[in-house]
Each structure stands twice: as C-alpha cells, then as structure tokens.
C-alpha cells in the first residue's frame, strides 16, 4: 500500500519514532525530511537524500564490528527497500547513482545474512548486488561481488568455487583498484589452503602482500567500504584462517594473539570472533591448553548472544565438541557446555 504524506505528516511520523526501522539514525532536520518525502513521491533523485543513505551505510559498517547482524539486519533491509522504491520511480537515464548505492546496500545485506548463518539469503543478495553493479557499469563492485561470493563459498565448504570466483575477480576488465586485486588474491589463497595446495596458497598471499605494499592508497570515494580499511594489517589478520586451513596452526595462533591485543574491546563482535578462533587453535598441536581454550570460549558468550553471529557460534560449537571428545571431565568446560546447550 502506498500512501502520500504531507511534509507535516511525514515530520510527525519521524517525531513519533514510527519510521525508526527505516531511519534509525534520525533525520537531522525538516529539510532532510522534506527532501526524502519529495524523492519518494517524485521522479527526481535528490543527491542530498542519497548522501544521507550513504552516511547511514558507513555508520552501519562501523556498528557491525560492535553489534553484528541481529541488531542491523532489520534497519538495513528497510532502508534497502526504500532505496529500491527510489530506483523504480526514478527517471530513465538518472538511475546510475541510485544503482551504485543499492549495490553497496545489497552487498552489506548479503554480509549480514552470511554472518547470521543464512548462506542462501547471503548469496541471493550478493547476486542482486552483482546485477545492480553491472547495470551501474561499476567494474570495481562487479569484481568485489565475485570476492564476496568466493567468501560465501568458503563457509559452504566449496574450495573449488572459492578459487574460481576469486580468480575471476582478478580478471575483471576495467577500473579495478590494486587493493581489490589484493583482496581477491587473499581470498584465492584461502581456497588453495582448503585444498591443501601450500605452494599456490603462499604465492597468492605473497601477491596480495606485494600489491598492498606497492599501492597503499588510490581508492575512489565510491570504492567498496571494506577496501578503505584494507591494508597489510588486515591481510595478516584475515590470513590466519587460511593458515589454519593449511595446517599451520602455530602461525595462525600467533597472528590471532597479536590481533586480539590490538583490537579495541568495544569492537565486541570482532573481538569475540578472534577469541573463538584462537580457542580452537590452542586445543591443537603437541602442547594443547584445554583450560585456556574453555576460558576463551566462555569470554565470547556475551558477544555471541548479542550479535547473533553464526561465525562465533560455529567456532564455539566446534570447541564444545573438541573439549567433550578429548577432555570430557574438564571442569573449566562445564559453563561453556551449559551455555551452548541452553
């Protein structure tokens, strides 16, 4: 059902909180409300409105590191729906800016679904993002979405798809930044690690490192948000999972130890994911430490409950199974067992 609103009615809805799901950060003034109202009821896309939704998306990326998908999925999906309404009513020939923004929102929606454990929805929204990126003639987002689909394939235990999609991202023609090529190489390395091809794994990681060292900047404002924070430190952290898959658990654990010390505590979702991965690693090797593993796992429970992150949950359930199998009478593991059972 579509309803036409006057400026006064729209402002009253904002003031009452009825549009909180669509505009969780609040509209700053009546002028912004007026602009959005006119955009929703007309054929002209106001750049100020698009700028507003772009700022919201940037804030969502920041909040994701603290909150995770449980708190963000509802607002993001509502905002995505509003933006798609703008696209449908826009004048033919004026849709490229809205398509580029829709691509970024759909990519983020895919990520949130992935982090919540719904890989089917994650791939659906990644496909939508790919379509909109092609329609907007945005080569970099086309390549980036291939990397994102490769990342989803990692969780789907399909390493051949991981390699093929990441390699395809490196071959996209057009204006693709070296940082994105580095990210694609890192993701391809993860696939080769899952396939236990250590030579290709190391070659891909070396290529990614060389690209980031040689091209530390050079991004456009419209480049994927993730790339703006992607550097050699991020590459090292992300490579821990690949080292783990390749069987180099000591290297993976050393990387995570450093990153846990460097990650601010207020980034609760990221901090918990790092700890949960480390917990599984310290149960391996010639000198396992099950007590520390249990403590690390228990420390993640609060952030897991708040965020709804399936990545954290998967690590914790793997840890629970390992502790139950190898150290069934370990007292330190009981709180973890009870929490996950509940």
Residue 232 lies in a domain: no
Residues 127 and 21 in one domain: yes
Q: Which long-range contacts (CB under 8 A, 24 or more apart) does 274-279 make?
A: 274/237, 275/299, 275/300, 276/300, 276/304, 276/311, 276/312, 276/315, 276/316, 276/319, 277/240, 277/241, 277/244, 277/252, 277/315, 278/253, 279/315, 279/316, 279/319
Domain co-membership, 214 together with 273:
no
- Last residue of one domain, picked from the residues 137, 155, 184: 137
Which whole number is the average pLDDT over 139-159? Answer: 97
The stretch 13-42 carries a mean pLDDT of: 49
Q: How confident is the model at residue 157 (pLDDT cuts 50, 70, 90)?
A: very high
Please indicate, yes or no, whether residues 172 and 199 belong to a single structural domain of this protein: yes
Same domain membership, residue 291 and residue 327: yes
Residue 327 to residue 291: CA distance in whole angstroms: 10
From 21-30, 74-83, 149-158, 191-200, the region with the lowest mean pLDDT: 21-30
Q: Is residue 41 domain-shared with residue 156, that is, in the same domain?
A: no
DSSP for 217-259 reads ----TTS-HHHHT-SHHHHHHHHHHHHHHTT-HHHHHHHHHHH
Q: Provide the domain count of the chain.
A: 3
Q: HEC profile for 39-64? A: HHHCCCCCHHHHHHHHHHHHHHHHHH
Same domain, 108 and 174: no
Query: What is the pTM assigned to this prediction?
Result: 0.86
Does residue 237 lie in a domain region?
Answer: no
* Element spanning 193, H or E: helix 178-194
- pLDDT surpassing 80 at residue 11: no
Average pLDDT estimate for 176-201 = 97
Q: Are residues 129 and 23 in the same domain?
A: yes
Tell me the mean pLDDT in the region 15-32: 47
Q: What pLDDT is stored for residue 306 in this prediction?
A: 94
What pLDDT sits at residue 90?
87
Tell me the pLDDT band of 43, cut-offs 50, 70 and 90.
Answer: low
Residues 247-263 have pLDDT tens digits of 999 999 999 999 999 99
| Mean pLDDT value of segment 44-67 | 90
Could you tell me if 210 and 277 lie in one domain?
A: no
| 240 lies in some domain | no
Average confidence (pLDDT) over 136-151 = 97
127 plus 143 within the same structural domain: no
Examine residue 239 and state whether it is found in any structural domain, yes or no. no
Q: How confident is the model at residue 14 (pLDDT cuts 50, 70, 90)?
A: very low
Q: What percentage of the chain exceeds 70 in pLDDT?
A: 87
- Residue 78 or residue 22, greater confidence: 78
pLDDT higher than threshold 50 for residue 15? no
Sign of CA dihedral 215, 218, 221, 223: negative
Which pLDDT band holds residue 38 (cuts at 50, 70, 90)?
low
Kindly indicate the confidence band of residue 4, based on its pLDDT and cuts at 50, 70 and 90.
low
Asked if residue 253 and residue 339 are part of one domain, the reply reads yes
Are the beta carbons of 336 and 298 closer than 8 angstroms? yes
Domain end point (choices 103, 137, 171): 137
Q: Which long-range contacts (CB under 8 A, 24 or more apart) does 325-328 make?
A: 326/283, 326/288, 326/290, 327/290
| Same-domain status, 130 and 202 | no
Q: Which of 137, 169, 187 is the last residue of a domain?
A: 137
216-249 tens-digit pLDDT = 887 888 899 899 999 999 999 999 999 999 999 9
Q: Is residue 236 in some structural domain? A: no
- Per the domain annotation, does 235 fall within a domain? no
Same domain as 3, residue 130: yes
Q: Which domain holds residue 144?
A: 138-218
Residue 1 lies in a domain: yes
């Amino acid at each position: 059902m579509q309803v036409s609103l006057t400026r006064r009615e729209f402002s009253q809805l904002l003031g009452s909180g009825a549009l909180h799901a669509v505009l969780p950060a609040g509209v700053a003034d009546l002028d912004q409300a007026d602009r959005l109202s006119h955009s929703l009821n007309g054929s002209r896309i106001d750049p100020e409105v698009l700028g507003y939704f772009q700022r919201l998306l940037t804030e969502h990326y920041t909040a994701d590191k603290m909150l995770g998908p449980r708190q963000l999925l509802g607002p993001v999906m509502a905002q995505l729906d509003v933006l798609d309404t703008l696209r449908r009513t826009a004048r033919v020939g004026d849709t490229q800016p809205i398509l580029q923004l829709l691509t970024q929102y759909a990519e983020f929606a895919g990520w949130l679904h992935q982090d919540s454990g719904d890989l089917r929805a994650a791939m659906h929204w990644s496909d939508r993002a790919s379509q909109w990126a092609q329609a907007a003639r945005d080569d970099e987002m086309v390549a980036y979405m291939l990397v994102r689909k490769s990342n989803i394939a990692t969780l789907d235990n399909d390493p051949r798809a991981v390699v093929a999609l990441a390699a395809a991202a490196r071959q996209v023609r057009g204006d693709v930044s070296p940082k994105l090529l580095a990210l694609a190489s890192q993701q391809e390395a993860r696939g080769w690690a899952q396939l236990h091809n250590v030579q290709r794994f190391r070659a891909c990681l070396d290529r990614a490192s060389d690209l980031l060292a040689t091209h530390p900047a050079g991004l456009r404002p419209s480049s994927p948000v993730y790339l703006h924070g992607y550097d050699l430190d991020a590459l090292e952290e992300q490579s821990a999972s690949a080292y783990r898959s390749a069987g180099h658990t000591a290297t993976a654990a050393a990387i995570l130890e450093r990153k846990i010390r460097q990650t601010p505590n207020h980034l609760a979702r990221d901090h918990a994911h790092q700890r949960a991965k480390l917990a599984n690693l310290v149960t391996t090797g010639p000198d396992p430490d099950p007590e520390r593993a249990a403590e690390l796992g228990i420390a993640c429970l609060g952030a897991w409950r708040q965020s709804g992150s399936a990545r954290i949950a998967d690590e914790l359930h793997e840890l629970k199974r390992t502790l139950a199998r190898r150290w069934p009478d370990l007292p330190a593991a009981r709180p973890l067992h009870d929490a996950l059972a509940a």
